[in-house]
A = this chain, B = another copy of it.
Amino acid sequence: MAEPALEGLIEALRRLPGVGQKSAQRMAFHLLQHDREGAQRIAHALTTAVNDIRHCERCHTFTEAAICRTCLDDTRDQRLLCVVETPADQAAMERTGSYRGLYFVLMGRLSPLDGIGVRDIGLQQLVSRAGDGSVDEVIVATSFTAEGEATAHVIAEALKLRGVKVTRLARGVPIGSELEYVDLGTIAHALVDRR
């Protein structure tokens, strides 16, 4: 095959995360053979999103306005700030229905090996936001992975310097699990954090 438009499409689709040569080829063939309307829709959606989506000036999540709806919602508790890694994590928090405060979305996590430092997660903006006297408590809800924990640590240290109260989501045994099948690190943490 030496059709430039086809080669170009396969090459471009490889930019998608988790998509290699074979998947890109399968996607290109599928779209061209069975779903050209889908291809046009994807192209249009990409262009629209790239043009319209930016970061909320207050919480950094994706938004089409200068400030996102969540930040503008004055029925929310303005004195609580929850720090999450991604908009997907924020959506998960929202779905619990147990949180009514505001958010700060890091849009990533510290990962020195990938060259992602404190500047990339907007640590400075988080500290000035949380340290301006309007926030009583910052709940750090980064992942419970090595990188997420390191990120939580750096954030907590920076906020404590400004005298802000920092808490972390509880570690423990997940709901619905039998102790026998829970990993030992989790049980050990649940024991230490018993209440």
Contacts and interface: CB of A to CB of B under 8 A. Distances in A.
Interface string A75-101: 000000000001110110000000000
A30 B49 CA distance: 12
Contact of A36 (B8, B36, B38, B50): B50
Given A2-B69, A108-B33, A9 B63 contact: no
Interface string A34-76: 0110111111111111101100000000111000110000000
A18 B20 CA distance: 13
A119 interface: no
Q: How many copies does the complex hold?
A: 2
A17 interface: yes
Interface string A1-34: 1111110110111011110000101111111110
A9 B48 CA distance: 8
A59 B50 CA distance: 38
Given A23-B18, A50-B36, A12 B69 contact: no
A49 B35 contact: no
A100 to B, nearest CB: 17
Interface residues of A, number: 54
Interface of A: 1-6, 8-9, 11-13, 15-18, 23, 25-33, 35-36, 38-50, 52-53, 62-64, 68-69, 86-88, 90-91, 107-108
A25 B89 CA distance: 12
A43 B47 contact: yes
A26 B17 contact: yes
Given A35-B15, A53-B5, A43 B41 contact: no
